[in-house]
Amino acid sequence: MRRFLEAGLTSITVAVPQNLLAEAPIRILDDPHVRWVAGGGSRQASVEACLVATPGGDDDLVIVHDGARPALATEDLRRVVEAAAQADGAVLGRMVSDTLKEIEEGAIVRTLQRSRLFRAETPQVFRRALLAQALERCRHDGFVGPDEASVVERLPGVTVRALQASAPNPKLTVAADLLLIETLLTRYPTSGAMSATGEPDR
């Protein structure tokens, strides 16, 4: 959150478990630019709760980011926002470099063509109205996607850009990830406020 604030964002909404809601500002970060909401039973429900609680216009860009990826480079944040401003949305990630195998019951059944595979990360950035429409349709259809792009992709005629990350953006999953993330937080400090569209930072 501090990295996003240092990059120039002035409105951040964070979903946390209901039992941590009252304590979050004290235990995590007390800042007037940060609001806290109770998350839902899924990532999708938590994003929807944040969207409802966040003020803004239909044409504003909404940045969705995993708290488990704290080492995001400011330059990659700027680039993915710029890409989203030129399309219906954009997702930061990277092309797959490893050979991927599909398995069933522990046995390989086929090798996937990695040249067309993109490993989605966050931030994922969309126009507010488009994301709200996609979430509403998912709620109506009973669809729960693994990320926001999978939700928006269900709308007809949308274009979501895949933006290759320029810096590591690992997800904190196990304790062994901590050393790498701490190193990256030092190596890729924020580089001042950004303005992705030439408009005042929001």
Q: What is the mean pLDDT of the segment spanning 17-30?
A: 94
Q: What is the mean pLDDT of the segment spanning 56-67?
A: 95
Q: What is the share, in percent, of the chain residues with pLDDT greater than 90?
A: 87
**Tens digits of per-residue pLDDT, 107-153?**
999 999 999 999 999 999 999 999 999 999 999 999 999 999 999 99
pLDDT at 197 exceeding the cut of 70: no
CA distance 23 to 32: 15
pLDDT at 163 exceeding the cut of 90: yes
Q: Which superfamily does CATH assign the domain made up of 2-187 to?
A: Spore Coat Polysaccharide Biosynthesis Protein SpsA; Chain A (3.90.550.10)
- Distance set, CA 45 to CA 18, 27, 64 (Å): 13, 23, 13
CA distance 59 to 79: 18
Q: What is the mean pLDDT of the segment spanning 10-37?
A: 95
Among the listed residues 46, 156, 45, 44, the one whose alpha carbon sits nearest the alpha carbon of residue 36: 46
> Per-domain residue ranges for the chain?
2-187
pLDDT band at 186 (very low <50, low <70, confident <90, very high): confident
Among the listed residues 16, 124, 137, the one whose alpha carbon sits nearest the alpha carbon of residue 76: 124
How many alpha carbons fall within 13 Å on the CB side of residue 121?
Answer: 26
Pairing of strands 89-95, 101-104: unpaired
Contact (Cβ atoms closer than 8 angstroms) between residue 122 and residue 64 = yes
DSSP states along 167-187: S------STTHHHHHHHHHHH
**Cβ neighbours of 15 (radius 10 Å):** 20
pLDDT at 165 exceeding the cut of 90: yes
pLDDT at 31 exceeding the cut of 80: yes
Q: What is the mean pLDDT of the segment spanning 160-170?
A: 96
The average confidence (pLDDT) of the chain is 92
pLDDT at 196 exceeding the cut of 60: no
Pairing of strands 107-111, 101-104: antiparallel
Q: Report pTM.
A: 0.89
pLDDT at 202 exceeding the cut of 80: no
**Tens digits of per-residue pLDDT, 63-113?**
999 999 999 999 999 999 999 999 999 999 999 999 999 999 999 999 999
Contact (Cβ atoms closer than 8 angstroms) between residue 88 and residue 148 = no
